[in-house]
């Protein structure tokens, strides 16, 4: 550890690599609402946050756990990320929120990833967010066709198939996706 009279210890959230303060400052000085996407191995969480000196205020939130109310049994994959984005877009419109800026935090920006599926869902839900259309995943990935192809490859080895797909049947994923999407759109 560095020592000396002029050395300043960085903030704890910076040391533990949880917050990039330069990026956060740029987002906050825009004085716009932020669409914050955080993902883990099992869940995708999305919030629309407004900055306040006393602390950020969460105006609207949605999670992949909320999709269970609509009949979704899948895990945190690309189709569920899209549906969470669609859900937050619809909830934001009910609260009269029409625009935001995209905040991915410390997530890597990878073209076609889950975080951009959330962005596409939020746009389809009615939010206005500055973006570039080339970063979105393809429609086949959003519908879950890549999961079906992977499941068909694993069908030969039943042990691996049962271990990988314990919760849902991947063959029914596109139908389930369309059913949940229509339920979210209807409100």
pLDDT tens profile 30-77: 889 999 999 988 899 999 999 888 988 999 999 999 999 999 987 789
In angstroms, the CA 10 to CA 27 distance is: 20
Q: What are phi and psi of 48, to 5 degrees?
A: -105, 120
Q: Where are the domains of the chain?
A: 20-186
Looking at every residue in the chain, the average pLDDT score rounds to 89
Q: Is the pTM of this model over 0.95?
A: no
Which residues 6+ apart lie within 8 Å of 18 measured at CB?
106
For residues 113 and 74, is the Cβ–Cβ distance under 8 A? no
* CA pair distance 159, 45, nearest whole angstrom: 31
Instruction: Write the CATH number of the domain with boundaries 20-186.
Output: 3.30.420.100
Specify the pLDDT at position 22. 78
- Please report which confidence band the pLDDT of residue 167 belongs to, taking 50, 70 and 90 as the band edges: low
Average pLDDT, stretch 141-146? 92
């Amino acid at each position: 550890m560095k020592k000396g009279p002029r050395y300043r210890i960085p903030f704890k959230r910076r040391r533990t690599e949880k917050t990039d303060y330069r990026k956060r400052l740029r987002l906050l000085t825009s004085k716009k609402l932020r669409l914050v996407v955080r993902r883990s191995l099992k869940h995708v969480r999305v919030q629309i946050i407004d900055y306040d000196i006393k602390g950020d205020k969460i105006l609207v939130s949605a999670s992949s756990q909320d999709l269970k109310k609509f009949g979704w049994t899948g895990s945190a994959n690309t189709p569920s990320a899209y549906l969470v984005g669609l859900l937050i877009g619809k909830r934001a419109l009910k609260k009269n929120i029409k625009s935001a800026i995209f905040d991915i935090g410390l997530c890597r920006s990878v073209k076609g990833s889950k975080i951009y599926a959330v962005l596409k869902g939020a746009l389809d839900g009615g939010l206005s967010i500055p973006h570039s259309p080339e970063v979105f995943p393809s429609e086949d990935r959003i519908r879950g066709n890549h999961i079906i192809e992977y499941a068909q490859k694993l069908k030969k080895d039943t042990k691996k198939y049962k271990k990988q797909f314990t919760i849902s049947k991947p063959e029914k994923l596109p139908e389930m996706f369309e059913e949940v999407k229509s339920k979210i759109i209807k409100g």
